[in-house]
Amino acid sequence: MIPFLATIRPFYVSLLLACSLLFQINIAHAAEHKRPYVVAAYYPDWKIYTPNNPYSASMIPAEKLTHLIYAFLAVCGPVDSSPDNIKKIIKTQCKDKPIGTAIILDEYAALQIKLTGETATNVSYKGNFGQLKLLSEKHPHLNILPSFGGWTLSEPFHTVAVNPVYRQTFINTAIDLITKYDFFDGIQIDWEYPGGHGLSGKGQNQVIQEREAYSLLIEGLRHKLDDLGRQHNRQYQLSAAINADTKTLPGINWAQVTNHLDQLYLMSFDFLGNWDNVVGHHSNLYSTPNTPNNNSVDNLIKTLIGKKVDPHKIIIGSSFYGRGWQGVDLISPDKLENLQSQGGLKKGSDIKDPGYFTYSDISKYFINNPKLGYRYFYDQHAEAAVLYNQKNKEYISFEDKRSLKAKADYAKKHKLGGVFGWEITSDANNELITILDNNLNP
Please list the active-site residues: 192
3-class SS at 63? helix
DSSP class per residue in 380-422: TTTTEEEEEETTTTEEEEE--HHHHHHHHHHHHHTT--EEEEE
110, 33 Cβ separation under 8 angstroms: no
User: What residue type is assigned to position 366 of the chain?
Assistant: F
DSSP class per residue in 69-115: EEEEEEESS--TTS-HHHHHHHHHHTTT--TT-EE-S-HIIIII---
Count of helices and strands (H, E) across the chain: 12, 16
User: What residue type is assigned to position 209 of the chain?
Assistant: Q
Q: Which residues pair with 40 in a beta bridge?
A: 67, 420
Handedness of CA 208, 212, 217, 218 (dihedral sign): positive
40, 67 Cβ separation under 8 angstroms: yes
Residue 149 CB-half CA count within 13 A: 25
Beta strands in 215-312 (DSSP E): 237-242, 263-266, 278-279
